[in-house]
Amino acid sequence: MEKQFDNVIVMFENEYYSDGGKSPKFKGKLTVNGVDKEFAVWPKEKDGKTFYSGKISEPFVKSAPQNNNDLHSKAGKSFVEKTYKEDPMPDSDLPF
């Protein structure tokens, strides 16, 4: 059984953060009285001073696709077409 850490937070810098974007600068997890939660933190500025604002939410649960078509297509384009706009390894890069 995993050791329970009550009233403790774990925070990481968000690798997808961009200044001025909607992504939080920090995100993490916390446990309060045995209940797991997630949080996000954004830097703000007022009167020339930086402060941090945050939001606590329920843990994210990835939902399963509704049908087989959802796995392969979104808005008419396949996952592969969206992921690789060009050939990830052109023939010219092959060593043989």
Whose tokens are 């830097």? That residue is 43
- Give the pLDDT confidence score for residue 62 in this predicted structure: 85
- Give the pLDDT confidence score for residue 95 in this predicted structure: 53
For the stretch 4-22, pLDDT in tens is 678 888 999 999 888 877 8
What are the structure tokens assigned to 65, written together?
């696709």
Predicted TM-score of the model (pTM)? 0.57
DSSP3 helix / strand / coil % (the chain, rounded to 5): 15, 40, 45
Long-range contacts of range 25-30, CB-CB < 8 Å, 24 or more positions apart?
A: 25/52, 26/52, 29/59, 30/56
Residue 87: helix, strand or coil by DSSP?
A: coil
